[in-house]
Structure 1
């Protein structure tokens, strides 16, 4: 990593430049002054997905899910716990494939939940099926 990282605010979508050494000091957005990391997955939409993919200098892990999916509901608390463990070195996000069908199609989501890890705007790993907190963290750190 360089001396600073660009991070998209999960609240106002502003792009922030944060010294890499300060990532673990709970930085706030320069525009809306809210925390850049909340220990919760960021809900992404078709309108916000590309901004987070293209303008976060840290890896982005996305849970593609749907509200009617039993395994998705089972994994949701584990994904929140994983967010708290992975931040600030990874941006953790969710995409509801029912409301964001374009993204589900664009990323060829065939089963849910599906996790996709992106680095530098490109997919580097994919995992289908519900995972535990430890499995999510291990999978992300492995890649």
Structure 2
């Protein structure tokens, strides 16, 4: 009898890893580069890596669209990092610099930053604009905790 497997994209090399559904992801390592699958924070995504992360991860993906010149983005960055470290077994967290990746900002019609978006299996599930504190961000994410 075969055990159900889920796909997790390596944040280091982009390889797609198939792991047992009940596996402890905190201990998981990439089969290709042998680095940890969970990194304790958000992963910087590029136009090249973005689609792989949002379509091939079994878990929902939270994306922070931001820019270095944006004061609210800089203020929210440590909050986003803390929540990412706390909830990364349930969500994959990405950061997209809208200045460096204008194609992604255009594709998702990002009009204000920071904008947070939850995607699952390539589909936008939820979106919100504006900075958030940690409690509000966690509560918002818990509404959309989607099982693989």
Deviation at 1:19, TM superposition (A): 1.2
Distance in 2 between residues matched to 1:45 and 1:53, nearest whole Å: 12
The 8 Å contact of residues 9 and 36 in structure 1, kept in 2 or not, is answered as yes
The 8 Å contact of residues 85 and 137 in structure 1, kept in 2 or not, is answered as no
Structure 2, unmatched stretches of 5+, are none
RMSD: 1.2
Deviation at 1:23, TM superposition (A): 3.4
Match of 1:67? 68
User: 1:71-110, aligned counterparts within 5 Å?
Assistant: 71-110=72-111
Match of 2:13? 12
Structure 1's 25 and 10: CA in aligned 2 closer, same or farther, altered over 3 A?
closer
- Normalising by structure 2, what TM-score? 0.92
- Normalising by structure 1, what TM-score? 0.95
Structure 1's 23 and 59: CA in aligned 2 closer, same or farther, altered over 3 A?
farther
Deviation at 1:46, TM superposition (A): 0.4
The 8 Å contact of residues 10 and 37 in structure 2, kept in 1 or not, is answered as yes
